[in-house]
Structure 1
Amino acid sequence: MKTVHINNVELPAVGIGTWNLGDDPNCHDDEVAAIRAGLNRGARVVDTAEMYGEGRSERIVRDAIKGYRRDQLFIIDKVLPTNAGHQRLSTSLEQSLHNVGTDYFDLYLLHWRGTIPLAETVDELEKMVTHGKIRAWGVSNFDVSDLKELWSLPKGHHCVANQDLYNLEERGIEYDLLPLMKKHHLPLIAYSPLAQGDQLSGKLTSDRLLQEIAANHQASVYQVMLAWTIKDSGILTIPKSSSVAHAIANWQAGELNFTPDERAALARRFPRPQKKQLLATI
């Protein structure tokens, strides 16, 4: 299994995403079982956010991690931009901690940029580190200009990760954002690594090259897509798992290694962007 370092912690490069988990009460037990299946296989990262189902995903995480050693988990949560200032960040954080049932988060992200100045948000995040409520902080949906503005702040370089959309069909960050992050040793957390929407995922699952590579490794196309997101170092991928079978398949994808010929074929079939693109988000 590939690994990635975030805040000096070595982590398996395949984590567990929870977007949309908790939305259907009838799926509660299956979703809890899926998260536990990933953890039982060796996953350590569980990613959630106060926005996901207005706390419902956080509470699914709470139910799933009961009985696990907290120091073996790496829990990521996110604050909404409207709550990321002096007046609300502390309260939002406390509510999220309560929802997840933990005393601290290993990583707390600004979910995306809003109208609150970055300096104010960074100030509050630094306070939460001092108070022991979070071990580290980062950002999400930040592009090159956002990171440069962040790094211009006195404590902006305390940011330990940036979470962005990244998959075979959304490679815009490879043009300038990923190279900049690698230069500054800032890890990427890749969200929606298996793409979103039936039309897009259907297009990819029917791709002949992906099918051929999947057959070479006795894997599924989805596993190939997931393995592609972590083919390079410094990347953590966080696919959602709503069933035990998917959770196990996601974990196994982290053990898939492409041959040089396969990497070259993928690069030809899905070429890098040749110009700056608007940051893709969902």
Structure 2
Amino acid sequence: MKTVRINGKQLPSIGLGTWHMGDQIGQRPQELAALQAGISAGASVIDTAEMYGNGRSEKLVGESISNMQRDSLYLISKVLPENASAKRLPQRLDRSLMALGTDYLDLYLLHWRGTIPLSETVQALEDAKQAGKIRGWGVSNFDVADLQELLSVPHGENVSANEVLFNLQNRGPLFDLLPWQQQHQLPLIAYSPIAQGDQLGGQLRQNKILQTIALAHQTSVFTIMLAWVVDHQQVLAIPQTSQRQHALVNVAAGKIQLTDQERRQLAAAFPTPTRKEPLAVL
């Protein structure tokens, strides 16, 4: 499987997203089975956030890994911008750790920019790292200008990753953000790496190029869409699914090797933007 190096650790390029998971008690057994199947298949990265279900997603993740070896997993959570102050961040971090049933996070992200100065948030993150409660920290939904500003504050250079929306339909990061991050050796974590919405998914499912490539690899169009995301250097994808079989298929996408011809076909069908686009968010 392709790998990505984040904060000194080599990780499989396909992880597990948990947005919208943990909200419905009736789906809990199914969601637990999906997470555990993905982990068993080789996905060591699990991405969650305090915002997801107001902590219910973190509790679901905690339950799913309760009998697993902690150092075999890479746990990511996120703090809301209004909680990213010197006073509140340690409190919210402890809340997330308790929900997850662990004493440290591998990566803690600022979910998006807010009104609290970046310098204050970065110092709070550095303090959490010194306390041993996180191994590293990063950001989410940051564009190039945000990252440039981040590097200008004390300890801002310690940022370990940036998580943004990136998929075949949302290719804006290809124009400037992904090249900038590659130049600065800053990994990109792609959330929602497969098309969003039934109409969009149906349109892409009918794309002849995607269908041909999927047939060649004996897989689905959506698997090829995911393989395209992680085919880019230093990109880790965190697809979300509540279905056990889908989790297995998603993880397997990290093993697909696109040919040069297939890359050219996809680049022609889904070209890189020719000008700056606002960073897309969901």
How would you bin the TM-score normalised by the shorter chain?
Answer: over 0.9
Partner residue in 2 for 1:234: 234
- CA drift of 1:205 comes to 1.2
Using structure 1 for the length normalisation, give the TM-score: 0.99
Using structure 2 for the length normalisation, give the TM-score: 0.99
Partner residue in 2 for 1:83: 83
Q: How does 1:262-281 map to 2 (within 5 A)?
A: 262-281=262-281
Partner residue in 2 for 1:71: 71
Distance 2:131 2:83 in 1: 18
- CA drift of 1:37 comes to 0.4
- CA drift of 1:194 comes to 0.5
- CA drift of 1:55 comes to 0.6
Query: Is 2:15–2:47's contact at 8 Å kept on the other side of the alignment?
Result: yes
Give the stretch that moved more between structures: 81-90 or 200-209. 200-209
Structure 1 stretches of 4+ with a deviation exceeding 4 A read none
Distance 1:253 1:177 in 2: 24
Partner residue in 1 for 2:223: 223
Q: Which amino acid aligns with 1:104?
A: Y
- The secondary structure found in structure 2 opposite 1:237 is strand
Q: Which amino acid aligns with 2:134?
A: I
Can you give the 5+ residue segments of structure 2 that lack an aligned partner in the other structure? Answer: none
Partner residue in 2 for 1:102: 102
- CA drift of 1:87 comes to 2.2
Partner residue in 1 for 2:196: 196
- CA drift of 1:121 comes to 0.3
Q: How does 1:160-199 map to 2 (within 5 A)?
A: 160-199=160-199
- The secondary structure found in structure 2 opposite 1:254 is helix
Q: How does 1:17-56 map to 2 (within 5 A)?
A: 17-56=17-56
Q: Tell me the percent identity.
A: 54
- CA drift of 1:241 comes to 2.1
- CA drift of 1:42 comes to 1.2
Query: Is 2:4–2:236's contact at 8 Å kept on the other side of the alignment?
Result: yes
Q: CA RMSD in A?
A: 0.7
Q: Which amino acid aligns with 1:150?
A: L
Give the number of aligned pairs. 282
Partner residue in 2 for 1:250: 250
Query: Is 2:182–2:233's contact at 8 Å kept on the other side of the alignment?
Result: no
Distance 2:254 2:37 in 1: 15
- CA drift of 1:201 comes to 1.4
Distance 2:76 2:120 in 1: 21
Q: Which amino acid aligns with 1:11?
A: L
Q: Which amino acid aligns with 1:222?
A: F
Distance 1:125 1:195 in 2: 33
